[in-house]
Amino acid sequence: MYAEKSLMMGDEVVDLMMEYAVLLARQSSADSVDVEAISTDGDQVTATFLIGPATIMVAETARSTFPEPDNGSAVEYLKEQIGLIKTPPLAHGLDDMGFHGFDDEV
């Protein structure tokens, strides 16, 4: 449940959204994520979730005859973002990237 709406999504995308929400909250950061879902009316919808420190989401299990919506791109995005938070890329100095100082000859 999110914003007092219930949507059905697959386990993997929901688990990743919950993990991402926790990580973003710890960083006092926010992001938006588009996911495919099934509404309470049985319609397939694209839902945009704003995830941040004040986000309140509830995940619950449900049995359904509906096929799981395809969230391959959302899963890929969430995994990438979670990976960047858990293992940030190394910072490089300007000299490491080929920049020269004022006194260096080009």
pLDDT value at residue 94 = 61
Mean pLDDT (10-residue bins), the chain, 106 residues: 78 96 95 95 94 88 89 98 93 62 56
pLDDT value at residue 19 = 96
pLDDT value at residue 96 = 56
pLDDT value at residue 56 = 86
pLDDT value at residue 100 = 56
pLDDT value at residue 63 = 86
DSSP 49-104: EEESTT--B-------SSPPP--HHHHHHHHHHHHHHHSPPPP--TGGGT---TTS
pLDDT value at residue 85 = 95
